Amino acid sequence: MNQTALKQIRIVLVEPAGPLNVGAIARVMKNMGLSQLAIVNPQCDIMADDAKKMAVHAREILETASIEADLPAALQGCLRAIATTGRTRSLPTNFETPRHALPWLLEAPSALIFGREDRGLSNEELKYAQRFVRIPSCEEYSSLNLAQAVAVCCAELYQSAIGPAVASPEASDRAVSAETAVHPPASQIRDSASLDESEGYYQHLEKLLLEIGYLYPHTAASRMEKFRRLYNRAQLSSQEVAMLRGILRQIEWALSHQIRS
């Protein structure tokens, strides 16, 4: 089993309100070999008796959970992020199943983001993710409890990490070939831009585009969503982000000198 891959995945909860949910999440994380928990602005006491009772033998996950003021802080150090959502949104993006999307997180330090019990993640929060997951469920009652949603995703991650229980040599050979074809080499993953680096570039780009009049304040958010999707598909490296920021700085320099002259 690829324990290292599971250990580098961070479960991020945004403003959870129920200590029972938080405790149940800690337990299922330990069941499935996950240990990193980050909580953004919790709306409950994560060490309340109810949380500890639900966590049972996973109390250390509650004790070591990081408490963050906002989502960008919770994602620091991650190269990849997937957000979960249970609702149809106006965002023009693709929603994937956990089984299809989540193995991608096992390749690098990554985050899996879950929203509030009552309303999930806002469109503003979703912009920090590169891919989006919706858990398939019955149309008659499609809403999952937060802890249930985390459990489904953690189980999928665990199954992806351990791989097929039994496989013939021929099947194993085919799996290796497919893995090589689909996934980039480790050196390329290590050089991927972190979410912090990418976010710094997006903010720099938005500032400059507002200054030159390409963006307008009332439409900037929707336009920047398109840029984010474009760059997410490109999977930029740290060097490429540095190059793009260098271009922005040179444009700023040129504009300032043009104004002076």
SS3 labels along 203-231: HHHHHHHHHCCCCCCCCHHHHHHHHHHHH
Taking all residues of the chain, what is their mean pLDDT, rounded to a whole number? 88
Residue-level pLDDT at 180: 41
Tell which of 117, 146, 162 closes a domain: 162
Residues 196 and 252 in one domain: yes
Let me know if residue 78 belongs to a domain: yes
Same domain, 134 and 35: yes
Contact 241, 201 (CB under 8 A): yes
Specify the CATH number for the domain of residue 72. Answer: 3.40.1280.10
Q: Using 50, 70 and 90 to split pLDDT, how confident is the model at 48?
A: very high
Number of structural domains found in the chain: 2
Same domain assignment for residues 8 and 119: yes
Computed on alpha carbons and rounded to an integer, the radius of gyration of the chain in Å comes to 20
Instruction: Note whether 83 and 16 are same-domain residues.
Output: yes
Q: Is 120 among the domain residues?
A: yes
pLDDT of residue 177: 43
| Burial of 227 per CB tally in 10 Å (0-12, 13-18, 19+) | middle
Neighbours of 23 (CB within 10 A): 25
Same domain, yes or no: 27 and 138: yes
Same domain flag for 150 and 199: no
Query: Given this model, what pLDDT does residue 27 score?
Result: 98
In a shared domain, residues 253 and 148? no
* pTM as predicted: 0.81
Task: Return the CATH number at 255.
Answer: 1.10.8.590
202-239 pLDDT, tens digit each: 999 999 999 999 999 999 998 998 899 899 888 889 99
Together in a domain, 119 and 216: no
Is 180 within the bounds of a domain? no
Q: Is residue 136 part of a domain?
A: yes
Residue 129: give the domain boundaries. 3-162
